[in-house]
Amino acid sequence: MDNKAYLVQMNGNGVHGKNPVNSKTPNGTGVTGSGLHRLSGNGSLYPTKVKSRRLRWDVKPSEMANNTLNPIRAIVDGMKLTPNPDKPMIALSIGDPTVFGNLPTDDTVIQAMKDAIDSQKYNGYAPSIGYLKSRQALANFYSSPEAPLTAEDVILTSGCSQAIDLAISVLCNPGDNILVPCPGFSLYKTLAVSMGIEVKLYNLLPEKSWEADLKHLESLIDERTSCLIVTNPSNPCGSVFTKEHIQKILKVASRHCVPILADEIYGNMVFPGCSCPSLASLSSDVPILSCGGLAKRWLVPGWRMGWILIHDRNNVFGPALHQGLVKLSQRILGACSIIQGALESILNNTPQSFYNNTIGFLKSNSEICFNELSTVPGLNPIMPSGAMYLMVGIEMDHFPDFKGDVDFTEHLVTEQSVFCLPASAFEYPNFFRIVVTVPEELMVEACGRIREFCQRHYRPSSCNSNDLDQ
């Protein structure tokens, strides 16, 4: 019998073939350079030498699993949330605009999905980076003279979260560090730490409508800084950077040759009177990976359609990084094919009135919340300019009954059945975040309950108390 084995190989196109191979390799391991196992002379896949076996079960989670922690879940899961049974719960904590049913997506968006399903064209596997037609539609929608895009510059993903995951993964190695806004979206840290990447937090300044502290930001950069994350508009702050401030951030990145991951999932969700140019449209030399999706602007977070827009006009990233994104996208089969089929129609046919109505509602609710809480002793709300959030500072010296923002918000649930997210979940203690997507009547009711809670627990500062004692 022929003392050769046959190895079944699969090439990148999914074509099978048989290639004769010798039964032994130079290192005697029976493994080819590509990591494929050769058959031994007797047809066995196993080496002749018997290895010692384990004597007991010892299955443990991986280091990556152990290092994965969502700060929001870590804090919220540890809170004792027992609502007041006499008051219906009002949750102002979840960044999902669909929870209360008062913000449905537009009929044209639903019809686009129906048409994609009825066509029977999108029931199979799509390319890992997305259908060419869908990527071209996104390139056309977001391209501008200042930041031109082609279909080759677009990667479709399973929601903006996967886009951020791919962007961090392609830019960073274990031991590198990334710069993350504080307060900022918790997912950045969750992903980075699980990959062995250090997170450095740069401060946002509440007294300047949450602008970045540029001196602090620049002081954190070193030779292992592989990515600067900029979130604009902001979660959790609801802030929108001005054109001038964005240009200052870009100058810092340019000076130190640090690429930017622009989280622009709330792009264009800005209140009337504000503008929100994309970072790429203002950059002449800094390469940018812009992450976005349908979730917020089109009010369909459960559809899990996101994207990366690659802005690299000076060829800093080059083909290697683009190919790296393609390879990473092949780990899973990307975004839902049916939503990809509907994407062109969603982008082109959603009426401007839908966007305007959504923004108008968010602005009105933000103003109600800001105006109501501005007159509550011990609270300092900061008026947002976009997105879906409002941050409220707590003067903890005036609330000695509580240890911090987590304790404060926990008792707010217990007494008033109003749940706001403590900002410790965003690495920013003594604040809490309010989601402004609830129906207007619930926003008014929630603010009234917060006022009642604060009036009950508010105390003069310790300094004033001492003066009175003397």
Which of 14-28, 146-160, 193-207 bottoms out in mean pLDDT, i.e. has the lowest? 14-28
In the chain, the amino acid numbered 24 is K
User: Can you list the pairs that 96-99 forms with residues at least 24 positions away whose Cβ atoms lie under 8 Å?
Assistant: 96/301, 96/437, 97/296, 97/299, 97/301, 97/388, 97/437, 98/299, 98/300, 98/301, 98/302, 99/437, 99/438
Asked if the model's pLDDT at residue 463 lies above 90, the reply is no
Band of residue 465 on the pLDDT scale cut at 50, 70, 90: very low
Q: What is the pLDDT of residues 124-156, one digit of tens each?
A: 999 999 999 999 999 999 999 999 999 999 999
Asked if the model's pLDDT at residue 69 lies above 90, the reply is no
Identify the pLDDT of residue 7.
42
| Average pLDDT value for residue range 460-464 | 63
Neighbours of 186 (CB within 10 A): 21
Identify the pLDDT of residue 148.
96
Asked if the model's pLDDT at residue 23 lies above 50, the reply is no
Asked if the model's pLDDT at residue 359 lies above 90, the reply is yes
Identify the pLDDT of residue 71.
80
Domains and CATH numbers, the chain: 71-101+353-457 (3.90.1150.10), 108-349 (3.40.640.10)
Band of residue 42 on the pLDDT scale cut at 50, 70, 90: low
Q: What percentage of the chain reaches a pLDDT higher than 90?
A: 80
Asked if the model's pLDDT at residue 369 lies above 90, the reply is yes
Asked if the model's pLDDT at residue 110 lies above 70, the reply is yes
Residue 263, beta-bridge partner list:
231, 291
| Average pLDDT value for residue range 243-265 | 98
Q: Give me the sign of the Cα torsion angle 54, 60, 62, 67.
A: negative
Alpha-carbon gap, residue 202 to 253, rounded angstroms: 13
Identify the pLDDT of residue 81.
83
Q: What is the pLDDT of residues 165-185, one digit of tens each?
A: 999 999 999 999 999 999 999
| Average pLDDT value for residue range 306-329 | 96
Asked if the model's pLDDT at residue 45 lies above 70, the reply is no
| Average pLDDT value for residue range 393-400 | 97
Identify the pLDDT of residue 53.
81
pTM over 0.75: yes
Alpha-carbon gap, residue 215 to 377, rounded angstroms: 33
